A and B are shown apart, each in its own frame.
Chain A
Amino acid sequence: MKNRIERSTLPVIKVLETGATATSNVSSGAFVPVVMVATDAHPSVAELIRAHAHISGGDCQSSWARPPLNKGLIYLTLQFERPSDFGFHLAFDLPGQAGAVDQVMRAKSLYLQHGSSGRGLEYHIDEPRILIEAPADNFSDIWDDMFLRAAAKIARREGASYLESRSKARELIDQWRNFFDGHSDATGAENPSPDE
């Protein structure tokens, strides 16, 4: 199938910090990544989160994308239809936020909330957030290769040689995925309180 390239006019919102939270009533207690953006710079996003708090339900279409000239970013395009017709690109930094992207891919969902740069989820745990479903059926194969490259880059930064970096990257990915999958299985529905 021929790939279609479209120029998007949606605003790009940079992801400042990421985290993860697990509750019993969402995904059976599995970890769901939390993506924090500067909503004070984007009042439409703040209003979207606020509207969700008052108006139940909503529709959102999501798709993953890569900017053609920047391999250090990956976009998650969110096009909301309800409660507000508004769309934007969430820009994840690679390889720094590759782990969060992998979590979103595996959880097929994410929380979106306000945050600030340099301050983790523990500082914004009481902020209102919205749960967004983001399936990545067509992108997961591409992402596996991208995640391997990103992890190899991290391994090289930590001193591994080019040849070693591929094997270390695989180990890193396995550890990362096993940690979250194992933790999700362990918690299950027995941990009703938010746990980050």
Chain B
Amino acid sequence: MRRRRPLLDSYRGTHPAGDRTDTVGHRLGPSNFRWDTCGPITKLPAQSILAQPPIRYDADMEALEWWLRSEPAIKVSSVAVLVALVSLGFAISSFITGRQALGLSRQQEERRLARLQIEYSKAYWSASDVGRAYVFDITVQNRSDSPNAVARAELWINYTLNKQQMRVVVPNVTSASEWAMKLPQAVGARDTIGGILEFIVPDEFLRSRVVRNFELELTDTFGVKRTVSAIHVPEKVATSEE
């Protein structure tokens, strides 16, 4: 921060800068000193120089004096510049406030948009009579202020056949498990639901196909799709309790 220099009211009269020299005769004072208005350079002893109060050059005072002496048109112009600068300050302040208000509005709008967040805790497959049963244990969060629902669940299988990438979707089947998520499933505002989704893929279908990954896609009431990807879906290992 700029330090304001102390105002000296008499530096022109009693302490002209041009009168000061150092002990070897070098001139002290501001560079714009006018030698023609001052007396000759006199060598002063070092003690007397140190005894004098320090000379300060006050640019603000000079600017004020210049402004007071200047033409009225220049005065008006300078006042206009000052007003313009103040207006610019207000404009910048309004801009910052507006940006903050826009951010807040967007956050509120985001909260109104009922977008579902999907997470799956585990995924596995097990053999069934009609093929492989792929099971995804998922939780669905609705962080918004509006209620929503899981309308449809599909499993996209990305695989390669003869080095060509293929993509096939398998619809959801209602599982017999008590934890099965029965679609359509409502998700209230700021609510979380959980359950398992099951997809049956015939054994013949994936024969000699190299599966790259699985994508679980959930479609909500508003038609917005959310996808969670699973690369490795292991076979379910039967435990001793089962």
Given the known interface contacts A43-B161, A47-B161, the answer about A84 and B166 at a Cβ–Cβ threshold of 8 Å is: yes
Cβ of A57 within 8 Å of any chain B Cβ, yes or no, is yes
Quick one: which of B128-150 are within 8 Å of A by CB? Answer: none
Does A44 lie at the interface of the complex (its beta carbon under 8 Å from any beta carbon of B)?
A: yes
Check if B202 is an interface residue, CB within 8 A of chain A: yes
Residue in A47, A50, A55 whose beta carbon sits within 8 Å of that of B171 in the complex: A55
Q: Looking at the assembled complex, report how far the CB atom of B35 sits from the nearest CB atom of chain A, in whole angstroms.
A: 82
A83 to B169, CA, bound (A): 5
**B164 an interface residue at 8 Å Cβ cutoff?**
yes
Chain B nearest CB: distance from A79 CB in Å? 14
Known: A54-B204, A54-B205, A55-B205. A85 touches B164 (CB 8 A): no
Task: Please name the residue on chain A nearest to B154 by beta carbon.
Answer: A82
Q: Does A51 contact B (CB under 8 A)?
A: yes
Instruction: List the B residue with the shortest CB-CB distance to A46.
Output: B161
Which residues on the A side are within 8 Å of B154 (C-beta)?
Answer: 82
Residue of A nearest to B166 (CB): A47
Separation of A44 and B160 alpha carbons in the complex (Å): 11
Q: How far is the CA of A85 from the CA of B204 in the complex (A)?
A: 20
Are A84's CB and B168's CB within 8 A?
yes
In-complex Cβ contact of A51 among B164, B171, B205 (8 A): B205
Q: How many interface residues does A have (CB within 8 Å)?
A: 14
User: Is B164 a contact of A57 with CB atoms below 8 Å?
Assistant: no
Q: Decide yes or no: A57 and B171 within 8 Å by CB, A43-B161, A47-B161, A51-B205 being known contacts.
A: yes
Please indicate which of the listed interface residues A43, A47, A54 has the most CB atoms of chain B within 10 Å of its own CB: A54
B167 at the interface (CB under 8 A from A): yes
CB distance from A152 to the nearest CB of B (A): 43
| Minimum C-beta distance from A185 to chain B (A) | 36
**A37 vs B161: C-alpha distance when bound (angstroms):** 20
Residues on B with beta carbons closer than 8 Å to the beta carbon of A56: 171
- For B162, list chain A residues within 8 Å (CB): 43
Report the minimum CB–CB distance from A119 to chain B (whole Å).
24
With a cutoff of 8 Å between Cβ atoms, the chain B residues found around residue A83 in the complex are 168-170
- In the complex, besides A55-B169, A83-B170, 12 extra interface pairs with C-beta distance below 8 angstroms are A43-B161, A47-B161, A50-B205, A51-B205, A54-B201, A54-B202, A54-B204, A55-B202, A57-B171, A82-B154, A85-B167, A86-B167
Binding site for A on B (CB under 8 A): 154, 161-162, 164, 166-171, 201-202, 204-205
A-B pairs with the 8 shortest C-beta distances?
A54-B205, A54-B202, A51-B168, A84-B168, A83-B168, A82-B169, A83-B169, A47-B166
Measured CB to CB, the residues of A under 8 A from B are 43-44, 47, 50-51, 54-57, 82-86
Give 30 pairs: A residue, B residue, CB < 8 Å, sorted on A. Answer: A43-B161, A43-B162, A43-B164, A44-B164, A44-B166, A47-B161, A47-B166, A47-B168, A50-B205, A51-B168, A54-B201, A54-B202, A54-B204, A54-B205, A55-B168, A55-B170, A55-B171, A55-B202, A55-B205, A56-B171, A57-B171, A82-B154, A82-B169, A82-B171, A83-B168, A83-B169, A84-B168, A84-B169, A85-B169, A86-B167
